[in-house]
Every structure is written in structure tokens, then in C-alpha cells.
A and B are shown apart, each in its own frame.
Chain A
Amino acid sequence: MEWNPQELPVDVLDARIARLRAEMKCAGLDAFIVYTNNVRPSAVAHLTGFTPYWNEGLLLVPASGRLVFATALSNRVVDWIRSTNPVSEVTSTPRPGKFLGEWLAKDTVKQAGVLELDAMPSELASDLAIAAPAIQWIDGSSTFAGVRRRIDAAEQRMLERADAIAVAALDEVNVTAISDAGALAGLVEKQARLAGAEEAYIAVSPDLVSDLRFNRISKPISLAERFAVRASVAYKGSWVRRTRTFAKDDFVRRANIWLEDVVRKIEAGKFFAGQLAACVDALPDAKLANWMVESCSGSYPLSVVASSRSSEGKAPIDGSFYVLTVEFLLEGGPWIGSAPLIVGKPAP
């Protein structure tokens, strides 16, 4: 989608970059490198507004001055990249690592942070290291996570928009009128895209009673009486997930209301596990089976930060964005739901 300066003002991007530079200074970093492709777009999107549809690129955040974005996307789309990324110089090059390495070598950079250094594709990493052999490369993931701890008002609005798209798309599902999972996935995806979603991954569990797992379905599969749909939706780089169970019983209605209530109640500083356990009392006929919390702190749009699979305790941070997914077991069959939340702010 095109950049809208009212929606994402340059001032907001400048403030995000300034926050990263402050974190860089604390960590003793003279420069920062961020990788992007269409699977790992979120960090570059946060700093510049740009999301690649294909191929890959590297963003250089120097200690001062304009950002430099080097991408293997071809020259013919550079003007388009510039139109969606108002804060960077943009260069099309088959070797972004070499280009930025040479740029850094000319500067006085001694230590450069790299978001998710271990995961950097080897060719880019090798090109950077060869072109700038004197630089010490340091993993900057925790430095960047510091920038992402609190979301700003612009990001909140984008998340709200993404969530509204997901909710409206799921609202189109008429449990009495639809019987095929492929058609259902098509319907939800169409509604999401018509409402402006730049990406929509729709997954379906066609028969929740027999299998709780979701898949991206594109073939005719009959829907059982109890099924669930997961809509993962992006609006201009901001991703949310909404999962909804569909069945003709009262528990589904009560559980949906319960989830909306829970995401409003989550507090900062207290472990997710404990807070969820306390909330489950409101549904005495259900047994909590699994839960998962996702957030965006690096290049992935959403990744797991806490779950019932992990024994490590994790407490929400004030002002952070999360997606909570909960699975209940009950007599009539399972129920799965997910919803986004921002700790300490009204639910998006």
C-alpha cells in the first residue's frame, strides 16, 4: 500500500529512528544494520514504512545523518520504494551487503549492531565483512527490542485498522450458510483484501472436534458443525491475528465475550500464565488446554514470546502489543480464539 503521510508522519519515523540511536549509543554502537524480506519485514517497516513484496534488502542506520537502504529489488521499482520510504536513501544493487560494507568502511565505524546477527543470510553477511573488515559486528537484537517495547500512537492506529479488517472479514462468515472450507477461506481473504489488507493468511480448522490444527486450505473440504478460522492480516506493515470458533452453541458466544474481556484486563508486570489462570474462573465449564502470546520485537511480524509449552515465565510490558491465543476443552468440543491487545491501552 502507498505511504500516507497523515497516517505515518515523517516525524513519527524520525522519533523511532531517534529512539534506536539512543539505544545504539547506550550499547556503544556506531551504526546499525537491519535485514528485510517479505517474511522478515517488520523492523525495516517500523523504521521506514517500507515492506518489500519480494527479494531482500539491508537498512543502515548510521549514528547520524540519513538512513541508507540497499536492496536487490530491481532499479525499475526504486521510485516506488522511495515513495513508501520517506526517510532513506535508496539504492538498487545486486549485492546490498557489499554496497553497505563499502559505505561503512569509508566512515569511522568501529562497532556495528546487526538485528538478528546469527540469522543474517550468509552471502550478505560475508559481503559486509569482506567490504568492511575492520568493523566488529555485534548482535543488536536486544538493542532493537528496546525500541519496540512501547508502541506509538501511529502504530496503534495501524494495528487498530488491521484488527478492524480481520474482525470485519470474520464477521462475514455465516455459520448456517457456508459448508466448504476452501470457499470459506476465499470469502474471508476477499473481505480482508477488499478492506485494504496488504496481506492475509487465512487458515482453517474444518473440524475442531477431530483436529485442532489449522491449515491454509484451498480445496473443497466439508466444514463440520464446529470449525475455526484464523485470519492473520497485515495493514501497511502492522500484523494482527484473530482466531474465531464457529459453532451453534452458547459456549462459543460466551467464550468470545470472555476473550474480549481478558484482553482488556491483561496488566503489565504480572506473568501471563497467572493472569490467564485467574480469568479462566469466569468460564467454569471449560478447561484451559493451551495458550500462546505473540508479539513483534524484531524482524518477524509476530513471534511467540510466551506460551503454555514453555516453562519460562513472562510478564507483559506496559504499552506493548501482543496477540493472545487461547484453547479451551469442554464437553461439546474445543474452542480456540485469539485477539490482539495493547497493555495499558484500550483494546484495538
Chain B
Amino acid sequence: MIADDRRARLIEAMAEADLDMLLVYGNAWQVDYLRYATDFGILEGQALALVRSDGHIILYLDSPLEVDRAELDCSGVDVIYAPDLIAEVDHALDRLRNHRIGTAPQRLLPRRIAGRAKALNLSDQTSVVDRLLMGKMESEIAAIRRAAKVADEGYRVFMNAACPGRADYELIAEVEAFFRANGVDDNFQIIGVGGVEVRGMIPPGGKRLKRGDLVTTELTPCVDGYYAQICRTLVIGEPTAEQRAAHALYREAMEAGIAAVRDGVIAADIARAENDVFRKHGLGEYTTSEYTRVRGHGMGLFADSKPHLLENVTTRIDVGMALIVHPNTYHPAVGYLVIGDAVIVTKDGCEVLTGVPRELVSVPG
């Protein structure tokens, strides 16, 4: 069982860090630390979990609906309904004052508990869990492969749903329905529809597709807790010469980034390889934070895992890491454009998981 393997790794890491316990926070946005420890994919409310060095885990949840789900999903975990979550966990920690307790992720820990760190003997151990989240076991990579495969299938559903007159949320509806019926627990997806006025992808707003629109999407299904992403752009009707040229540039940048992925490089090397292509074409400005967020990122128990691929990130890239390489940004002639493939880092390069062709697809318009 993948959850048992993770738990064993976590206990080992806790022993190395000389911890008696680990206090983990999670919600549906930042779920990865919690899922690593408990295997629970929380949807509503917030959770705190206490992991003991002997492997005993108590999961505190403030939603009774989530308590039912956790009891069904998380074997070997004591699930407690705590309507006043923070007060209840604070009291539990009060009784554990002689223990060395690590916390993760520290920045999201509720203020009341973090404010008593000294009295409760709490120490920030976010980086310990981050290392576990980034360096995947074979069973985790297998789950990401499954997620990448269904991401491909989901993109085809998206593509087939795109036609003039349809609202952006209708495309998302088709994809989500396909995912729910095909083993996908969750999906993070944003979309962009239009031309030069589009500066980024956002949740669907009701925009209707029309001839000439670029339709961008970042689709991130979750299988057995693991997210894999695909980014693609399609055009309604025949692409213009400018759209074709812009897409070719982004594809070149993505392929340069993928070519830079290998064991031992740092995150910045991949971002730089992507950005150099933009700079070569006189579009270096569009690789800055004014127009783009990251040039890719890790994948795993969180849709936007570490490391972030940016030219100032020095995290070492190791064998077994899962990444999405995506030079997504604004293009002054055609608007926001995306393309991204999921990869697994190998010793000499990477295994590309994404199977959808890298072409700018045209759908009849």
C-alpha cells in the first residue's frame, strides 16, 4: 500500500530529525502534507493530524461530513470530530509538553498554536516533509503515471467539447464528469478564452467560445492522491500565422526545458533553458513575474508542488522527481498561451508522461 510506504518513510524521517511527534496541517488547497501523513484528501474544513514516532496517527477534523469520509478512506488512523478544531488540538498538545514535536507546513499552522511554539516545544520541520514530498518512491511515480494518462484522456474530452457558442464552464463540466466516472478524485483546472486581452487562465466565467479564440487550459487530475498536469492550447477555427508562430516558440521553449531536465541540475537550469528561447526571440520581458508565475513546478500530492521552476530557485533536481515543464505566459501578438508536459526525472534526462501531441490543435469553428 502506497500510504503504508509513505508512513514508514515519514516515521524514518521523524527519527532522523529526533522527533517524538509531527503536527501536520491541511485543507483542500494545501492538502499534500496532510495526505502524506494520513492519506486523507480533505475537501471541506481544515484538519490537523498528530503523527507519533510509533506510527500512531490521530486526525482531527472540524467537519462531520469529512469525518465520515476519513473513516472510510484512512485505515489505521484515529479520526476525531473536533468542531472547535484549534482549541481541541491546542489542548491535546498541552498534555504533550515533554515531547519534541515538529510542525509542517509551518506557515499555515493556525496562529493560536504557532504562537505557543516555545511553550509547546514545537519546531518547524516543513523542510523534512518537503524532501519526502519531492523525492518520489516507485509506487508514487506509478500513481503519477496513471494520473498523466487520465490527464491525456481528459484533455481529449475537453478538446471534443470545444466548439463555437459553448460556454467555458460547459467544457469544464464535460471534463469533470468524465473524471468522476473514471477514478479521478479531484481536478484542478483553469481556463482562458479569447485573444490579446487574455492575460492568464482563471476559473470559468461564462465566456462563450467564438471563431479565432485561443482556448488555453491547465488540467490537473488526481489519481489515488497524486496530481499530474497537462497544459495545452487550441484554436477555434483555423489558426492565424501569428498564432502558429507563437505556439511554435512556446513549444520550442518547452522542449528546451525538457531537454535540460536531468539528475543533478537545479530548478533554475530548466527555467533558464525555457526563458532563453523567449529571449532569443526578443520576448524576454514576458518571462518575468509581470506576465507569468512559474516556468513549471513539481507534481505529486499537491497540484503545484515544489520545486517551482524559476531562474532564482536552486533546488537540486533528483532522479524520481515529477515535474511539469510549462513556459506558459502572455504573448503580445496573440494573448496568453500555454503548453506543458509532465515528466519524471531520470539519471540522464527524463521520461515524458504526456501523450497528447504538442501541436496547436484547431477545432472546427
Chain A residues in contact with chain B, CB under 8 A? 1-2, 37-40, 53-56, 74-77, 79-80, 117-123, 125-126, 180, 182-183, 185-187, 189-190, 192-194, 196, 198, 200-203, 211, 213-219, 230, 232, 292, 300-304, 307, 309-310
Q: Is B172 located at the chain interface by the 8 A CB criterion? A: yes
B110 & A119 in contact (Cβ 8 Å cutoff): yes
Distance between Cα atoms of A74 and B29 in the complex (Å): 16
Q: Specify which of A76, A123, A217, A310 is in contact with B108 (CB 8 Å cutoff).
A: A123
Residues of B with C-beta under 8 A to A215? 68-69, 72-73
Closest 10 pairs between A and B when the two form their complex, measured CB to CB: A190-B177, A193-B173, A122-B114, A186-B180, A123-B107, A186-B181, A76-B200, A118-B112, A213-B68, A2-B205
Nearest chain B residue, comparing its CB with the CB of A214: B68
Q: Is B115 located at the chain interface by the 8 A CB criterion? A: yes
B27 & A118 in contact (Cβ 8 Å cutoff): no
B residues 30-87 near A (Cβ < 8 Å) are 43-46, 62-65, 68-69, 71-73, 81, 83, 86-87
Residues of B with C-beta under 8 A to A292? 64
A121 & B44 in contact (Cβ 8 Å cutoff): no
Q: Is B106 located at the chain interface by the 8 A CB criterion? A: yes
Q: Is B252 located at the chain interface by the 8 A CB criterion? A: no
Distance between Cα atoms of A1 and B172 in the complex (Å): 12
B residues 329-349 near A (Cβ < 8 Å) are 330, 336
Q: Is B190 located at the chain interface by the 8 A CB criterion? A: yes
B185 & A216 in contact (Cβ 8 Å cutoff): yes
A122/B199 contact (C-beta < 8 A), A39-B27, A189-B180 known: no
B117 to chain A, nearest CB (A): 9
A213-B71, A218-B182 given; name 9 further pairs at CB < 8 Å. A53-B190, A118-B87, A122-B106, A122-B111, A180-B181, A182-B180, A216-B185, A218-B181, A310-B83
Distance between Cα atoms of A202 and B292 in the complex (Å): 33
Residues of B with C-beta under 8 A to A74? 200, 289, 292-293
Residues of B with C-beta under 8 A to A187? 177
Judged by DSSP, the binding face of A is mixed
A120 to chain B, nearest CB (A): 4
Interface size class of B (residues with CB under 8 A): 35 or more
Distance between Cα atoms of A10 and B249 in the complex (Å): 43
A-B contacts, 15 listed (Cβ < 8 Å): A37-B29, A53-B202, A54-B188, A77-B202, A119-B111, A121-B110, A123-B107, A125-B111, A216-B185, A217-B180, A218-B182, A218-B184, A300-B44, A302-B44, A304-B63
Distance between Cα atoms of A310 and B180 in the complex (Å): 34
Residues of B with C-beta under 8 A to A182? 180-183
B106 to chain A, nearest CB (A): 7
Residues of A with C-beta under 8 A to B207? 2
Nearest chain A residue, comparing its CB with the CB of B64: A304
A194 & B170 in contact (Cβ 8 Å cutoff): yes
Residues of A with C-beta under 8 A to B107? 121-123
Residues of A with C-beta under 8 A to B330? 76
Residues of A with C-beta under 8 A to B44? 39, 201, 232, 300-302
A77 & B63 in contact (Cβ 8 Å cutoff): no
A76 & B292 in contact (Cβ 8 Å cutoff): yes
Residues of A with C-beta under 8 A to B190? 53-54
Distance between Cα atoms of A271 and B135 in the complex (Å): 54
Residues of A with C-beta under 8 A to B109? 121-122
Distance between Cα atoms of A302 and B29 in the complex (Å): 17
B residues 83-99 near A (Cβ < 8 Å) are 83, 86-87
